[in-house]
Amino acid sequence: MDVRFATAADALAIESIRVRGWRRAYRHVFPPADLDAMPVDESRWVERLVEPPGGWAILVAARDDEVVGFAALGPSRDAERAGELYAIYVDPDAWSTGAGRALLRRAEELLAMTYNEATLWVLEHNPRARRFYEAFGWTDDGGRQTFERFGVRAPELRYRQRLVPDT
Express the helix, strand and coil content of the chain in percent, nearest 5 each.
Answer: 35, 35, 30
Residue 5 has pLDDT above 90, yes or no: yes
What is the average per-residue pLDDT within 150-156?
A: 97
Residue 158 has pLDDT above 70, yes or no: yes
Long-range CB pairs of 41-48, under 8 A, 24+ apart, other chains included: 41/15, 42/11, 42/12, 42/14, 42/15, 42/16, 43/11, 44/15, 45/6, 45/10, 45/11, 45/14, 45/15, 46/8, 46/11, 48/72
Residue 52 has pLDDT above 80, yes or no: yes
Q: What residues form DSSP beta bridges with 161? A: 118
Residue 144 has pLDDT above 90, yes or no: yes
Q: Residue 72 corresponds to which amino acid?
A: A
Average pLDDT, the chain: 95
- How does pLDDT run across 69-95, given as a tens digit for each residue? 999 999 999 988 999 999 999 999 999
- C-alpha distances (whole Å) from 40 to each of 8, 17, 34, 35 are 15, 9, 13, 11
Other CB atoms within 10 A of residue 19 CB:
17
Residue 108 has pLDDT above 60, yes or no: yes
Residue 165 has pLDDT above 80, yes or no: no
Q: How far apart are CA 73 and CA 56, in angstroms?
A: 6
The 3-state DSSP class for residue 85 equals strand
Q: How far apart are CA 123 and CA 37, in angstroms?
A: 21
Strands 83-90 and 117-123: parallel
Residue 164 binned pLDDT confidence (cut-offs 50, 70, 90): confident
Q: How far apart are CA 75 and CA 93, in angstroms?
A: 30
Tell me, what DSSP letter sits at residue 52?
P
